Structure 1
Amino acid sequence: MNFPIPVPSAATLPMMDPFGFARSAFDYWRDAVERSVLFMDVMRHRGNQYLEHIEKTKPSVLGFETEVLMDGRELPRPVNYELMRVLPPAGIEIDPQRRPFVVVDPRAGHGPGIGGFKPDSEIGVALRAGHPCYFVGFLPYPEPGQTVEDVVEAEVAFLRCVIERHPTTAEKPMVVGNCQAGWQIMMAAALEPDLFGPILIAGSPLSYWAGERGKAPLRYTGGLSGGSWMTALLSDLGNGLFDGAWLVQNFENLNPANTWWTKQYRVFANVDTEAVRYLEFERWWGGHVVLGGQEIQYIVDNLFIGNRLSTAQLMTSDGRRIDLRNVRSPVVVFCSRGDDITPPPQALGWVRDLYEGVDGIIANEQTIVYCVHDSTGHLGIFVSGSVSRKEHTEFTANMDYIDVLPPGLYETSISRADERADAGLIEREYLLEFTPRTVAELDREIGHQPDDEARFATVARISEINLGLYRLFLQPWVRALATPSSAKWMRRMHPNRLGYRLLSDRNPLTLSLPALAEKVRADRHPVGEDNVFRRAETLVSEQIARGLDTWSDLRDKASEQLFMSIYGQPLLQVLVGLRADGQPHRRRPGTELEHRRFIQRRQAELHDRIAAGGSHEAKMRSIIYVLGGAPATDERNFKRMRASRAELEPSLKLADFKNLLREQFFILKHDREAALEAIPTLLKGQSAAQIDTHLNQIEHVLAASGELSAHAADRFKRIKSLFHRARPNATAVALTSPGAAPQSPSAAMNEPASPAPIAKAAEPRQTVTSGLPVSESQGAQASDTGRMPDGDKPAAAPGRRAPRKPRNA
């Protein structure tokens, strides 16, 4: 009987051969020594790069050539920001008629340029799509007395400059705000809504108390440090300036495994291939900037701790309220579940803070679109090449479609074209789809915890008390001791800065390192991955990282439990005055009586517009109805509409055509049955020949997108019946869509030729107005039935509109 003879693997052969084992040990030792020399040389390059970068007047990591158009230092209220035009690289042609893109970089401790760090970036994607691009960057030091409000006003001035440079462009600029720039852009859009086109906020926190238990421990930092008095102390020690390196250190402390081990070990283990990528990123990561003491105090007090932006409690110095409900441009929120700096609850919670339901969103004419990535980290949202090639490319390509979406709340999903049954009908690699959502559905994504509000409100009160005590007793002494020289040395000695300086050519201990590294590169002996000692090194590294992760998890859990136990005490909440008046712990604008009455007025205004218009509105409404009814919608429907403009509305400009499309979307979503039954009223006064022409145009547009589905064909039959009823002296023929209320033949014969007008019929008009609000019930219906823009619930009988129940928003 034959038994198989075990054959040792290649990895275990050296262990069985004493000489082979020794050779493996020697090869590994030699490789480790060589890698150590090369690693130290990479660190030396990093230090030299840091020193060279910070000594520049305008340090930036932007990967594109630019020209300065406006210098914020020359504005009436000077700031250290600049507006730059991005010059297209060779081989890229820009269409000056296309919508301009403005990318605003975050000023959160690092220098500018991350939004255009490499070709596969937000700016790179927009340039390849042919859009004129502009970049808003900043200088390392603020102007004396610079405030957050000054920065917001400067960004408004920059946007006006961009608009003036494109007088013939129909669309307003699209503005991209990364991280901390996102809330600045939203503040500017709330103050000057008419200047903005679609807004993309990527990884931007807007609701600072929101968060999921067991995740995002950064939101507890303010409470565990006793409030914002520490921020004031650091600003005073900095002689009125706050070192951005402290913000970077907070970021790094969230992931000690990566900060203290993994990032450096990755370079050490792959020093022959990883050095270039590492140094490119470190040029931005180590380029710390400085904020003004007034700026950072405003940010911490009003946003991070006070949470006043998402509750419409911020006021400008001239008395204007900053209310995000005033933003009229579509807002696209891009966040990630893998982001521990701006988790989805903080990126999306502002919707929940401002609105109790989709009714309020629609009444304020807001279109809010959100996309939640599954895994990418905070920096990956606006740095990762794969994210730029997928998500940012789709956002850029779909902005015209987002611009015509009716007001409401939508979630986007991105799927690969080659994984879909209709792959042949998709032009690009991915397809972006939009699905209507309700605030209740969004709430499940946010994980709202009402009990947390009392805790964070307590933190806000404690912060005010501690800050007042610091300003009364300590601040005069600290300011008396701080000087420009002491502040400069404190910045230099910050641990995050000092590490760069110590490993640079300015350290005499590194003088022999360049020659030694060159000698190693000339005679390199890398060891293979199958070396048993190299494998052991990898295992040890993984254990170190895993141990640091475990310690980090325990630290975060302990911090959360400590925060919850301290600020959840009823006695402490009473002592700071939270339970004295029985009022909510924070303002909820969506529940206020004034807002509910506003919603009712807007719904009534829209209902009065259902039967206003002429043949333009009738044709567009009909096409939207036939093409609607799917669980989600995508850009292909908009392209069909846009391609039909030359035939349907040749005299309309593209911007007016988009307004017409948006308004009819809007009306169908508000009350589908009333909108359809008003079509004969819109066609009043048209001859039979004109009506036939209109129907032929509609049929031609529908046929251009391929054969209609059975569902769409049934809808088109109903449209035909409504157009036939509009013929002069015609007898109505009831051709209702599937699911319509059944009618007896006698009822059909007695149906009037055209329905009683819902509002006074208007003469056919040439001008187009923008959309008006729709109701929460219809928004919920669109989501619950999975229809966009209209559902397929049983229709009311033709010529009658189902009675509407009065509701309180």
Structure 2
Amino acid sequence: MADDAWLKQPWMWPWLMAAQMGRAGLDAASAVLRPHEGAAPGDEPTWTTPAECLLDLPAMRLHRFSEGTGPPVLIVTPLALHGPLVADLAPGHSLVERLVAEGVGEVALLSWPSATPERRGTGIDDHLAHLLVAVEELGGRVRLAGICQGGVLAMMFAARYPEKVERLVCAGAPVDMEAGPSALTAAARACPQQALEAMIEAGGGIVRGEAMLRFWQMGGLDALSGGLPADILQSRSPPPDLLARFSEWNAWVVDLPGGYLRQVAGELFQANKLARGEFVALGRRIALGDLRAPLLLLAGAADTVAPPAQVFAAARLVGTPRGEVVKIRTGGGHLSLFMGSRTLSGPWRRIARWLKGQRA
């Protein structure tokens, strides 16, 4: 698809309106993203796999699903529209379940609670610092498995603290936004700064999840996620209970800190600072060449959020020896990388062996 084809997607209209109509356009975009009066989220969906909460902080939760010897496997979930059950949706559709079943040892997961007004200014530094706290809680050295933007955060961490990461998996994690076109890159670069600020202001400094969900649904569920539920779950005829579980997960959304969204959109997607070696985190410029741990990159062939070119570009940016970089391309879209039954029973089994030090 040509680069400008993304601009024809329905979910792009607020940005285009803002760019062409000035203040009136910004007001229209803000109206779409402003939460409904009296709107309140339902109960957060519970874990599929039994979990123990090791840390429960205002901006971070650390969960443990299994115990074992050696450096733990820490799954880093994305701070995005939906909650952490993207990694533990349902039996047969759970990354956590797969890693536990494959006997990789201790499996833990880092999740990010919904933002509060007090946290509206928090950014990537804050989340890296919380990741550091989680790693220390788990013994100071881990095998990281970052998914989506959690993979980008994990890669930053592994470059910033290389001695704390034994192995690194980045699944569906866009690293170099100039390596190929994507829906999110096009959206971020078409979005005027005024529109982004209006979106943040509409939520009082945070980006309301229920408003963002309405925004994305203008283009239909498959605009970014990779298809209908059956396609995402890689199930020809999903049973009613699985569809209900997916709908529950899809409806429960989190609020994002405005400072974090501003930094992700501006510094990563627009300016591409991480790939260019210009991104500063916790007081230091992040040089991906400092990342030397064995690295495995997983990309979906039909992923429009993190296309293979943007994911696999990390291989030439890191300092990991070429023979210790593994690239796996699989079928399906973005969410299928974490929820798809075929992806979990195929590529993730290979990844589990790799996490244990075996050949993938």
Give the structure-1-normalised TM-score.
Answer: 0.36
CA contact (8 A) 1:178 1:203 kept: yes
Could you tell me how far apart the structure 2 residues matched to 1:180 and 1:312 are?
18
State whether structure 2 residue 101 is matched by structure 1 residue 128: yes
Query: Aligned partner of 1:136: which letter?
Result: L
Structure-2 change in CA distance of 1:317 and 1:395 (3 Å) = closer
CA contact (8 A) 2:293 2:320 kept: no
| Structure-2 residue corresponding to 1:187 | 156
* Mapping 1:165-176, distance limit 5 Å: 172-176=141-145
Could you tell me how far apart the structure 1 residues matched to 2:189 and 2:122 are?
27
| Structure-1 residue corresponding to 2:309 | 345
State whether structure 2 residue 135 is matched by structure 1 residue 159: yes
Structure-2 change in CA distance of 1:264 and 1:196 (3 Å) = closer
CA RMSD of aligned residues (A): 3.1
Deviation at 1:367, TM superposition (A): 3.2
Deviation at 1:263, TM superposition (A): 4.8
CA contact (8 A) 1:228 1:297 kept: no
Deviation at 1:376, TM superposition (A): 1.0
State whether structure 2 residue 323 is matched by structure 1 residue 369: no
State whether structure 2 residue 203 is matched by structure 1 residue 238: yes
Unpaired segments ≥5 residues, structure 1: 1-50, 74-79, 89-93, 165-171, 267-271, 403-633, 636-809
CA contact (8 A) 2:189 2:269 kept: no
Could you tell me how far apart the structure 2 residues matched to 1:263 and 1:337 are?
16
| Structure-2 residue corresponding to 1:109 | 81
* Mapping 1:441-480, distance limit 5 Å: none
Could you tell me how far apart the structure 1 residues matched to 2:357 and 2:174 are?
25
CA contact (8 A) 1:109 1:243 kept: no
Could you tell me how far apart the structure 2 residues matched to 1:331 and 1:105 are?
18
| Structure-1 residue corresponding to 2:166 | 197
Could you tell me how far apart the structure 1 residues matched to 2:230 and 2:292 are?
48
Deviation at 1:343, TM superposition (A): 0.6
CA contact (8 A) 2:144 2:168 kept: yes
| Structure-2 residue corresponding to 1:83 | 62
Query: Aligned partner of 1:333: which letter?
Result: L
CA contact (8 A) 1:61 1:284 kept: no
Structure-2 change in CA distance of 1:256 and 1:323 (3 Å) = same
1:303-328 Cα distance to aligned partner (Å, 9 max, x none): 0101001111011353x111111112
SS in 2 for 1:54: coil
Could you tell me how far apart the structure 1 residues matched to 2:324 and 2:347 are?
19
Query: Aligned partner of 2:354: which letter?
Result: N
* Mapping 1:141-152, distance limit 5 Å: 141-142=115-116, 143-144=118-119, 145-152=121-128
* Mapping 1:186-265, distance limit 5 Å: 186-211=155-180, 216-225=182-191, 227-245=192-210, 248=213, 252=217, 263=228
State whether structure 2 residue 72 is matched by structure 1 residue 100: yes
Match of 1:323 among 255, 262, 287: 287
Deviation at 1:141, TM superposition (A): 2.1
Deviation at 1:71, TM superposition (A): 2.7
Structure-2 change in CA distance of 1:258 and 1:290 (3 Å) = closer
SS in 2 for 1:309: helix
| Structure-2 residue corresponding to 1:307 | 272
SS in 1 for 2:305: coil
Structure-2 change in CA distance of 1:328 and 1:284 (3 Å) = same
Deviation at 1:177, TM superposition (A): 0.8
CA contact (8 A) 2:229 2:246 kept: no
CA contact (8 A) 2:295 2:320 kept: no
Could you tell me how far apart the structure 2 residues matched to 1:126 and 1:346 are?
25
CA contact (8 A) 2:90 2:242 kept: no
Give the structure-2-normalised TM-score.
Answer: 0.77
Larger CA Rg, structure 1 vs 2: 1
Could you tell me how far apart the structure 1 residues matched to 2:290 and 2:183 are?
31
* More helix as a share of residues: 1
Deviation at 1:72, TM superposition (A): 3.1
| Structure-2 residue corresponding to 1:783 | none
Deviation at 1:397, TM superposition (A): 1.4
SS in 2 for 1:69: strand
1:633-661 Cα distance to aligned partner (Å, 9 max, x none): x57xxxxxxxxxxxxxxxxxxxxxxxxxx
Query: Aligned partner of 2:95: which letter?
Result: E
Could you tell me how far apart the structure 2 residues matched to 1:52 and 1:243 are?
10
CA contact (8 A) 2:90 2:245 kept: no
Unpaired segments ≥5 residues, structure 2: 1-37, 232-236
Deviation at 1:210, TM superposition (A): 2.5
| Structure-1 residue corresponding to 2:35 | none
Could you tell me how far apart the structure 2 residues matched to 1:371 and 1:265 are?
23
Match of 2:90 among 114, 118, 121: 118
CA contact (8 A) 1:228 1:300 kept: no
| Structure-2 residue corresponding to 1:296 | 261
